[in-house]
């Protein structure tokens, strides 16, 4: 009996010791990602991210956050939330991958807060404004400029199809994303510019109510926009089992690109090394950034709100400070579209 009591006492002591050890053991800290940690700090109260802070300084995640910068971040209100210049979409895409590698719940929470912002910002007609909820200037316009809306729709499509690491997002977002994609595609189809009844490409901005092309900054006139249209077509080509309307939109846009390419020139530094202009190049193929709606003639805007048909006629500052010509549609037309055609006969 005495031996049994000793054994029981020993077992009790061992059990109590194990519990004590378990209680005193520190939980391993969550893994972190340096850039993701900064993104958490920059995220605004409404879930979006700014491209600029209150003092108009550009958000750069490589910049160390000291007291002075932290004060600027804290002074930046939710009105600075935007999808311009990849803001908000850049952070959501990065944080999803950071969560995949660290399993840090704070990153996933920030992603979902960002998604809530994007879903709330979408108009009933399917478009997204450049800023939300700020409606000043041209910020409320539906914005394809710099691929803003295409970037958002690519995120929504990734959620809807559970691809590109977005399968970690709460499954409640799948149906919401599917609806957002459907509305967004409908908006894209409705805003494809008709030229004598035939769809061409898209403008960079549209009035959020009338869905008519609109101007942005003084040097960005309402016009057909090649760079933005490439982003739209690339998004539409991602859709599985595309509808006849989507197929037609893609085919008509590519046909427009093919018909309006500029062969034998490139836009580069002139021999003086100071100015930029068109230079002959035997194998060069380029497109203008903006084209007139009716004539398909390249047009160029200036800060005084004037529009010229020759890049040499705008101011030196604007001529050298903007991408008036480029090769944006080249890979789409010559490589990506033929592959899409084979997959979607």
CB 139 within 8 A of CB 127: no
CB-count burial class (<10 Å; 0-12, 13-18, 19+) for 52? middle
CA 61 to mean position of chain CA atoms: 17
Q: What share of the chain is helix, strand, coil (3-state, %, to 5)?
A: 50, 15, 40
CB 181 within 8 A of CB 259: no
Residues written for the chain? 345
CB 144 within 8 A of CB 150: yes
- CA pair distance 66, 146, nearest whole angstrom: 31
Annotated catalytic residue, options 90, 139, 217, 238: 217
Task: Identify whether 85 is a catalytic site residue.
Answer: yes
Alpha-helical runs (H) found in the chain: 2-24, 34-42, 67-75, 89-102, 105-121, 148-160, 172-191, 226-237, 244-259, 316-319, 330-331, 337-343
CB 339 within 8 A of CB 281: no
* Three-state secondary-structure class, residue 282: strand
- CA pair distance 123, 169, nearest whole angstrom: 23
Annotated catalytic residue, options 85, 145, 154, 260: 85
CA angle, corner 94, sides to 89 and 99, nearest 5? 125
- Residues 219-235 as b/e (b if ≥16 CB within 10 A, e otherwise) read bbbbbbbbbbbbbbbbb
CB 116 within 8 A of CB 90: no
- Return phi, psi of residue 131, to 5°: -125, 150
* Three-state secondary-structure class, residue 301: strand
Q: Which positions are catalytic?
A: 85, 217
């Amino acid at each position: 009996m005495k031996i049994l009591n000793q054994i029981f006492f020993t077992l009790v002591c061992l059990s109590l010791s194990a519990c004590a050890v378990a209680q005193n053991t520190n939980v391993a800290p969550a893994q972190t990602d340096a850039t993701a940690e900064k993104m958490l700090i920059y995220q605004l109260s409404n879930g979006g991210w700014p491209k600029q802070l209150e003092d108009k300084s550009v958000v750069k995640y490589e910049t160390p956050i000291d007291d002075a910068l932290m004060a600027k971040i804290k002074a930046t209100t939710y009105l600075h939330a935007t999808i311009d210049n990849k803001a908000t979409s850049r952070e959501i895409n990065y944080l999803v991958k950071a969560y995949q590698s660290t399993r840090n719940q704070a990153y996933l929470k920030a992603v979902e807060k960002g998604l809530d912002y994007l879903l709330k910002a979408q108009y009933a007609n399917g478009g997204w404004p450049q800023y939300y909820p700020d409606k000043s200037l041209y910020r409320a316009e539906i914005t394809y400029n710099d691929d803003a809306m295409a970037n958002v729709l690519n995120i929504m499509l990734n959620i809807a199809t559970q691809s590109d690491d977005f399968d970690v997002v709460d499954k409640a977002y799948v149906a919401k994303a599917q609806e957002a994609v459907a509305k967004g595609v409908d908006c894209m189809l409705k805003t494809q510019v008709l030229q004598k009844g035939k769809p061409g490409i898209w403008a960079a901005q549209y009035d959020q109510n009338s869905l008519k092309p609109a101007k942005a900054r003084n040097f960005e006139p309402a016009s057909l926009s090649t760079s933005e249209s490439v982003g739209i077509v690339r998004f539409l080509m991602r859709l599985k089992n595309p509808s006849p309307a989507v197929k037609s939109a893609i085919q008509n846009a590519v046909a427009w690109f093919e018909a309006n390419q500029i062969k034998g020139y490139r836009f580069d530094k002139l021999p003086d090394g100071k100015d930029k202009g068109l230079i002959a190049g035997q194998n060069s193929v380029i497109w203008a950034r903006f084209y007139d709606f009716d004539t398909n003639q390249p047009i160029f805007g200036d800060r005084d709100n004037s529009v010229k048909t020759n890049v040499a006629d705008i101011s030196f500052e604007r001529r050298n400070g903007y991408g008036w010509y480029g090769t944006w549609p080249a890979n789409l037309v010559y490589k990506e579209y033929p592959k899409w055609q084979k997959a979607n006969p």
